[in-house]
Amino acid sequence: MSSPFIKNTEDKTLTVGVIGLGYVGLPLVLSYAAKGYHVTGFDVDLKKIAALQAGESYIKHIDPGPIAEYVADGRIKATSDFQRIGEVDAVIICVPTPLSAHREPDLSYIEATLEAIVPHLKPGQLVSLESTTYPGTTLEVVKPRIESGGLEVGKSIFLVFSPEREDPGNENFAGPVIPKVLGGVSEDCLERGLALYGAIYAKVVPVSSPSVAEFTKLLENIYRAVNIGLVNEMKIVASAMGVDIWEVIDAAKTKPFGFTAFYPGPGLGGHCIPIDPFYLTWKAREYGLHTRFIELAGEINRSIPEYVVERTAGALNKLKKPVNGSRVLLIGLAYKANVDDMRESPTFELMDLLKERGALVSYHDPHIASIMPTREHAEWTGLESVEWNKENIASQDCVIVATKHDACDFDQLAQWAPCIVDTRNAMEGIETSEGQVIKA
């Protein structure tokens, strides 16, 4: 006989609470609302709450139309009042898990969330953690804190881990079409998790424990980080040999088996790839293990912004200009093309390094009009995107292409910029003068 939780999921009377309304949480809210569920979004950011209550989107690639529709008919509510956790049947936690200054896991957002919600949890609820973290977090950190409020996980309250797999701006793979990995603390927890996520996801993949699900997410992102580290190192070697790594990759990917194309860039960006590998390396040390391969890839990827700046210095030197005092414009603050997501963007590292060398640094990004406060790069807060026009670009001593946004006209860039350092192969196929473009 199915539980009331599962029955309510099937007849769509289940209410869902999503904590953290960023690039993961907001799409989740919209996915449940689209299927007819009532959803309450929780966040400490009052600007986000106000935007949702007004039916507006604060994430560029998310259409405000459905938000306005679902808010108007009552399917979506937004609040900063965590006492209202008691009003929902399922609680999904989507808060950040950054690194500390010592590159160790920072679970402060998870811990603060649990402190806020535990007094208001009620019997029968399901709690799901989606924040990327090290194996063991759900059992070692989340479960004890929930049970400190008097409820017993697996009996009176239920707990699962289901890692987010969002790829902002990817129209081919978004939200419910991406298979959902799920691990429950008990069979009853897993059963309820399957019902909750099966309501919106085309496929839910159950695994034997939350730790397996946690490890799965880390493996996915470490796979990418290691391969990006490899291709970034290959880029440096190829450049020294006078070989175009982009041409090499295009040739290699014609092999129909045994090769997956990864592409170099100015460094790692986004909330996951630069951070997640260190969650596993930190946890591995508890078992006396040294994850040398993963850490080496991290070292290579962290060194790439310095390599780009060195290439920039070399490009300026050919023009008989020092970095000190040169005007350098970076195209693209977002960490990837066609989004407004600047989390962990390598452009910040480039800006920091160039400023340290005395360059006069500016940026252009069609999706980010000005820099909002960040944890690591607060000194850039308030800097505004330079307008895209001939006068602004021609006045630069060097332009670095850090992100290849479709909205940027690289043909115009070739006509206007005297010196271009291209980290994204954006200038490929565009007519340029000899020595104008340096790949980095």
Question: Are residues 235 and 333 located together in one domain of the fold?
Answer: yes
Q: Do the domain assignments include residue 218?
A: no
Looking at 174, 208, 242, the residue that finishes a domain is 208
> In whole numbers, what is the pLDDT of the chain averaged over residues?
94
Looking at 208, 233, 250, the residue that finishes a domain is 208
Band the pLDDT of 1: cuts 50, 70, 90.
very low
Question: Are residues 129 and 250 located together in one domain of the fold?
Answer: no
The total of structural domains in the chain comes to: 2
Predicted pLDDT at 272: 67
| Residue 10 pLDDT exceeds 50 | yes
Question: Are residues 115 and 189 located together in one domain of the fold?
Answer: yes
Question: Are residues 248 and 336 located together in one domain of the fold?
Answer: yes
Q: Do the domain assignments include residue 213?
A: no
Q: What DSSP element (H or E) covers 225?
A: helix 210-240
Q: Do the domain assignments include residue 216?
A: no
Question: Are residues 430 and 316 located together in one domain of the fold?
Answer: yes
Q: Do the domain assignments include residue 161?
A: yes
Q: Do the domain assignments include residue 240?
A: yes
Q: In what order do the strands lie in the sheet with 90-93?
A: 76-79, 38-42, 15-19, 90-93, 126-129, 158-161, 180-184, 204-207
Question: Are residues 377 and 347 located together in one domain of the fold?
Answer: yes
Predicted pLDDT at 376: 81
pTM of the model: 0.91
Between CA 275 and CA 376 the distance in angstroms is 13
Q: Do the domain assignments include residue 313?
A: yes
Residue-number span of the structural domain to which 51 is assigned: 4-208
Tell me the CATH number at 232: 3.40.50.720
Contact 295, 281 (CB under 8 A): yes
Between CA 78 and CA 136 the distance in angstroms is 31
Which of 159-168, 280-289, 321-330 is modeled with the greatest confidence? 321-330
Q: Do the domain assignments include residue 230?
A: yes
Predicted pLDDT at 373: 86
Q: In what order do the strands lie in the sheet with 360-364?
A: 360-364, 327-331, 398-401, 420-422, 437-439
Output the CA–CA distances (angstroms, integers) from residue 210 to 129, 134, 142, 192, in the order listed. 10, 10, 11, 14
Lowest mean pLDDT among 61-65, 158-162, 367-371, 411-415: 61-65
Which residue from 313, 336, 312 is spatially nearest to 263, judged by alpha carbons?
336
Q: Do the domain assignments include residue 339?
A: yes
Question: Are residues 156 and 286 located together in one domain of the fold?
Answer: no
State pLDDT tens for residues 140-198.
Answer: 999 999 999 999 999 999 999 999 997 776 777 677 899 999 999 999 999 999 999 99
State pLDDT tens for residues 66-115.
Answer: 999 999 999 999 999 999 999 999 999 999 998 887 788 999 999 999 99
Question: Are residues 277 and 155 located together in one domain of the fold?
Answer: no
Question: Are residues 204 and 241 located together in one domain of the fold?
Answer: no
| Residue 270 pLDDT exceeds 70 | no
Question: Are residues 247 and 164 located together in one domain of the fold?
Answer: no
**Which residues participate in catalysis according to the annotation?**
272
Looking at 160, 183, 208, the residue that finishes a domain is 208
Q: Which residue has the higher pLDDT, 375 or 51?
A: 51
Question: Are residues 192 and 236 located together in one domain of the fold?
Answer: no
Question: Are residues 173 and 279 located together in one domain of the fold?
Answer: no
